[in-house]
Amino acid sequence: NAGVTQTPKFQVLKTGQSMTLQCAQDMNHEYMSWYRQDPGMGLRLIHYSVGAGITDQGEVPNGYNVSRSTTEDFPLRLLSAAPSQTSVYFCASSRAQRAGGAFFGQGTRLTVV
């Protein structure tokens, strides 16, 4: 059972570089979200999607783009990496927020130098 798969697990970027964090789920979940986790800040919502073709901003969307062309995939793009984007990124999926809990991927530890 794969669940939610994130790649890569670790990444180092130089300031100004762009990259895409991949997230895929095989549970046919409607809801998918991206969070970043920083020490003492908990999990903060970046972007989320309630279904294919539908995305919306969360609490901290600046500097990130998302798209949802299929139910399974929800990539997160960093447009021009900044040191402030150094963080651990988690992708999560669920059938619906009210139908049950979210399943998280194993995370991507990103360092921007």
Partner 1 sequence: QQPVQSPQAVILREGEDAVINCSSSKALYSVHWYRQKHGEAPVFLMILLKGGEQKGHEKISASFNEKKQQSSLYLTASQLSYSGTYFCGTEFTGANNLFFGTGTRLTVIP
14-19-24 Cα angle (round to 5): 140
In terms of CB distance, is 33 or 87 closer to partner 1?
33
Comparison of 9 and 80: residue with beta carbon closer to partner 1:
9
- Min. distance of Cβ 15 from partner 1 in angstroms? 26
Q: For residues 38 and 45, is the Cβ–Cβ distance under 8 A?
A: no
In angstroms, give the least distance from the CB of 80 to partner 1. Answer: 25
CB of 75 to partner 1, least distance (A): 18
- Residue ranges that bind partner 1, judged by CB under 8 A: 31, 33, 35, 40-45, 48, 50, 56, 58-59, 90, 97-98, 100-107
Q: Kindly tell me which of 14 and 39 has the beta carbon lying closer to partner 1.
A: 39
* Structure-token match 């995939």, residue found: 73
* Residue 59 C-beta: closest distance to partner 1, Å: 7
Q: Which is nearer to partner 1, 17 or 67 (CB)?
A: 67
